[in-house]
Structure 1
Amino acid sequence: MMRISPRSGALAAMAALLLLTGCWDRIEINDMAIVMGAGIDQDDQNKVHLSVEVYLPTGSSADSAQSGSDSGSSKDQSGTITASASGGSLSEALGHLQERLSRRLYWGHNNIYIIGKKRAEHGIQEDLEFVLRFIGMRERASFYVSEGRANEVLQVVPYLERSAVEALRELSKTQVSTEVDMKHILERIVRNPEQTFYVPHVLSGPEMVDKGHIRNTDEPYFRGLAVLKNGKLVGTLDNDSMLGTLWLTDRVKSSTQIAYPAGRGKITMSLSSSSTERLPRILPDGTWEMRIKVRYEGDIVQNTASLDPMKPEELEQIVEGANTYIRSRIERALESLQKKQADVLDFGEQFHKKYPKAWKQEKANWGKRFAEVKPVLDVQIATVRQGVMTGDIPSLFRREEGGDE
């Protein structure tokens, strides 16, 4: 048996302790500037202007506050500060921004990137490339395009949330808009030869606020969708076309409401479920056709029309009204997207799966072929539930006025 001297044992223990160095790269939370949201703009010198909204813990000092419009920080009333800097690229702008902050920027909680309109029109390919490569960025953060400058949106002070980025994120979860994160964009870029995708379109900061950047609740946050092709903004879709696009891509939320005129009033229906199926066909005459089959269920939540869903002939009018409403939104979205030659609907992928040889021939010029695809709509409501009461309120009032029969 080999003997180990006490001296040798002590040296071995000391060597082991040297290896136990702990978390050498750990950063204390007091040394972090936690980024809640980021805005990317194109400045007047065609440089990248990066703005970040940083969480400000209660009682901490905004020691990074500086003067100056392009490189300073501004403290607002929501517990955050907005800091910004410019550079020849997004990585260079980030480096300049870090130089002006006493704490290290931490991106682990960043939920949102807002792209200013001017930057989106210039192109965001390089920005996306950096976000994907930089280890600190989150790939599940959502993307938005603003009508004006992104840094103006970050400075909006909302009433119900801690910051504008939180308000946007919460609204994206509802029927008001939709969520599009970096993972979704990357999938679109890989699958689509012309790299087309859409993101929520946000109003400009000045449109959303009163004096002092305080949120004006009379104005919405969103205005439809922004459509990008090959990394550049090619146009926007209004709210009606946005709803049609969500139907076409099977991303309509169950809480979505539709309201349409019927009889002498209006029917409002809340969706409980929906599904969209796309069936591509290439006809013998060479026509490319896409059959779009939409099925959904809904609950009547308000009926101010003179229509009684308990009567088959009047229920048929309600059903046809709902189908016409949805069909018109889908047609409007298709018309706008085909005019832009921007296939954000994955039509190309559907044809690729069914007709790989034909797709290979059209792939290089898919935008033009997409504009020629003939849509065939089949929109039908599967179930209409009328809610707790039967009939409609106007008919009940008329009955009261005429007395009991």
Structure 2
Amino acid sequence: MTLLRCAFAIFALLFLSGCWDRTEINDLAFITGAAFDKTKEGAYLLSVQIAIPSASGEIGGGGGDGGQKKFFVLSAVGKDANEAFLMLQKKSSRKLFTAHRSVIFIGEALGRQGIDNMLDVFTHDPRQRLRTYMLVVKGGQGRDILRSSYPFEQVPMEAVKEMEIGRSELAVTLRDFFMASSGQGVDPVIGVIEAESREKAEVRSDTEMLGLAGTAVFKDLKLVGMLDGYETDGFLWAAGRMKQNRVNAQLPDGGIVGLAVNRAERSIVSDLAGDRLRLKIALTGEGTIVENNSRYDISVPENLAIARRALEKVVERQVRAALTKLQKQYRADSAGFGSALYRRHPKEWRALQGDWHRRYAEADIAVDVELKIGGSGMAGPPLQLNDKEIIE
């Protein structure tokens, strides 16, 4: 009887064990990046960058593949993003696999049209990774970015991912965008990327390079405008996203002093008395002097105070430049004033919520900056100056 049971168990294992419905790795096409654009007819143009496995089986290839290209790009058109993806699958001999996708590019034209339908693709499909980075392509199509090469990485999307991680203050993922879009009192933003061609580059290069180029401002899931690099620095201060930065200021003698910021904080105070809304943003930061090309001996307290005030003025101008464009031109609360009001004064927020963008656009916003400087003893006067040239 025992032998009969063992035989039956072994017979059952022949049918129950194993992964009969598994998908072999050789049957998958690994998507490293995707791009959403719109056609002249208003349809969706979906493009994906697919890594080409090397002869050794490694995705993206290795050092022994010579000049073989490590990726290729597939594109398809559909009336919506889901249909475009199905058309892409029909063009591929392998099953498209999205779990390795690290970046999603959105063409500027599609962004201005609105991305609500595009985002629906990522809402219902559990295979879509919400930690995928998002970037708007300035003045072009996302497909063009996918086609570009990058000298440092086997697959260009890895380079873009590392660039975003390096600028972590504005690294926005799908998850971040969904949370901001569904949150209270804040309009979402996305980083901007731009292809710098060899012909148009200020400094000539032997290859086409990619570069982060500011901030894309969204309102009601539509791209309403962009902040340049200078304004983006001010936005990061205003939004409480500043982690590390470099601030340069000109001193009265014409020299330059540089501060490496290693800590920054933000607080918002609101005054709801009267008809006009008054907001105040208080910024504090700490850093170290890393450059002094002036004649001032920064180790002297009085001169250090001059440098500190000059640096505070620079930060204030950056923040005001960003807030002016956001508040007056785009009427978008990307810095999260409404969100701060919602957390601290929920009752007052409920009264303002329905008309917030108008009230915000008309509000008076004050900016106060206070910096603390440490380690200035090593940043005294330039060593090439003699004693008579130094301001003590």
TM-score by length of 2: 0.88
**Alignment partner for residue 25 of structure 1, among 21, 27, 35?**
21
Which SS does the other structure have where 1:53 is aligned?
Answer: strand
Deviations 1:25-82 (A, max 9, x none): 3222222111111110001221111111111122399xxxxxxxxxxxxxx9651111
Deviates more, 1:325-334 or 1:363-372: 363-372
Which SS does the other structure have where 2:40 is aligned?
Answer: coil
Residue type matched to 2:306 in 1? Q
- Name 1:91's counterpart in structure 2: 82
- Name 1:287's counterpart in structure 2: 276
- Name 1:67's counterpart in structure 2: none
- Name 1:134's counterpart in structure 2: 125
Cα distance between partner residues in 1 of 2:307 and 2:316: 14
Q: Which runs of 5+ in 1 are unaligned?
A: 62-75
Residues 260 and 322, structure 1, Cα contact 8 Å, conserved in 2:
yes
Deviations 1:282-317 (A, max 9, x none): 22x233222212111111111111111122221111
- Name 1:11's counterpart in structure 2: 8
| Number of residues of Structure 1 aligned to a counterpart in Structure 2 | 375
- Name 1:324's counterpart in structure 2: 313
Cα distance between partner residues in 2 of 1:79 and 1:351: 50
Which SS does the other structure have where 1:296 is aligned?
Answer: strand
Cα distance between partner residues in 1 of 2:154 and 2:191: 21
Cα distance between partner residues in 1 of 2:42 and 2:24: 37
Change (3 A) 1:217 1:264: farther
Deviations 1:72-110 (A, max 9, x none): xxxx96511111111111111111111111111111111
Cα distance between partner residues in 2 of 1:273 and 1:239: 20
- Name 1:309's counterpart in structure 2: 298
State the shift of 1:115 in Å.
0.1
State the shift of 1:13 in Å.
4.2
Which SS does the other structure have where 1:335 is aligned?
Answer: helix
- Name 2:116's counterpart in structure 1: 125
Cα distance between partner residues in 1 of 2:56 and 2:145: 24
**Alignment partner for residue 55 of structure 1, among 51, 75, 97?**
51
- Name 2:229's counterpart in structure 1: 239
Change (3 A) 1:216 1:6: same
State how 1:5-404 maps to structure 2 within 5 Å.
6-7=3-4, 10-20=7-17, 22-59=18-55, 79-147=70-138, 148-175=140-167, 178-192=170-184, 196-203=187-194, 205=195, 207-209=196-198, 221-254=211-244, 256-262=245-251, 263-283=253-273, 285-339=274-328, 340-386=330-376, 388-393=378-383, 396-399=384-387
Which SS does the other structure have where 1:129 is aligned?
Answer: helix
Cα distance between partner residues in 1 of 2:5 and 2:380: 91
State the shift of 1:385 in Å.
2.2
Which SS does the other structure have where 1:314 is aligned?
Answer: helix
Which SS does the other structure have where 2:354 is aligned?
Answer: helix
Cα distance between partner residues in 1 of 2:389 and 2:337: 55
Change (3 A) 1:35 1:218: closer
Residue type matched to 2:161 in 1? R
Residues 295 and 389, structure 2, Cα contact 8 Å, conserved in 1:
no
Instruction: List structure 1 segments (4+ residues) > 4 angstroms apart after TM superposition.
Output: 4-9, 214-220, 399-402
Cα distance between partner residues in 2 of 1:46 and 1:161: 34
Which SS does the other structure have where 2:112 is aligned?
Answer: helix
Which SS does the other structure have where 2:170 is aligned?
Answer: coil
Cα distance between partner residues in 2 of 1:118 and 1:111: 22
Which SS does the other structure have where 2:367 is aligned?
Answer: strand
Deviations 1:319-352 (A, max 9, x none): 0111001010111111111121111122112112
State the shift of 1:217 in Å.
7.1
- Name 2:61's counterpart in structure 1: none
Cα distance between partner residues in 1 of 2:268 and 2:133: 27
Residues 295 and 382, structure 2, Cα contact 8 Å, conserved in 1:
yes
Change (3 A) 1:311 1:302: same
Which SS does the other structure have where 2:256 is aligned?
Answer: strand
Cα distance between partner residues in 2 of 1:220 and 1:309: 38
Residues 37 and 110, structure 2, Cα contact 8 Å, conserved in 1:
yes
Residues 279 and 292, structure 1, Cα contact 8 Å, conserved in 2:
yes
Cα distance between partner residues in 2 of 1:379 and 1:237: 21
Residues 289 and 376, structure 2, Cα contact 8 Å, conserved in 1:
yes
Cα distance between partner residues in 2 of 1:362 and 1:108: 41
Cα distance between partner residues in 1 of 2:22 and 2:377: 57
